[in-house]
Amino acid sequence: PPVSDSTLAGGGGRRSSLRLGPEHASKLSDRSETCPIGQYGGGMTLHEQLRDVALDEFATAGYAGTSLQRIADLVGTSKASVLYHYDSKERLLEAAISPAVDDLRGFVDGMGIDTFAPEKLPAFVEQFVDVLLAHRQVVHFVINQGATLEDVPVVHRALEQMRRLAEFFELAPSSTVEK
């Protein structure tokens, strides 16, 4: 069952309470009632916790609907601590989605004119699906909010990679039915 009220032990014996929703509580690796502050599960640093919780929030509540205070509350830290690690909400968004954008760029960069050759198509489809599934929250975020956030540099980079990918599909030697 998901942990709904975890007690976190902080430095110096200080204790604080954190309410985790089911989507975040499942990340607690041992499902125990206690875990040290700075440990969201699996030995993650506070920096990593903030990034991961932010991605969850951006994907579910949207960029405008996500506040740094909400992220801080979900992780069990202060807004000042969030701003210590990421100097703005935009920097936190960049940290949250850059790995996916970089993976997509690597995938697109690896595509060649022969990518759509019949013997290579199954491998291409498998790799493409793997990238999409590995970064499903970012895919959801960019598809649903990319157009309204194109002026944010990391979102612009994501949309540019999507355009490059679309160009490959347009240039692929195939019939209209295959497209």
The average pLDDT across 109-131 equals 87
- Confidence category of residue 177, pLDDT binned at 50, 70, 90: low
Q: What is the pLDDT of residue 43?
A: 82
Percent of the chain at pLDDT above 70? 72
- In this prediction, residue 6 has a pLDDT band, given cuts at 50, 70 and 90, of very low
Which H, E and C letters describe 74-121, residue by residue?
HHCCCHHHHHHHCCCHHHHHHHHHHHHHHHHHHHHHCCCCCCCCCCCH
* Distance (Å, whole) CA 165 – CA 160: 9
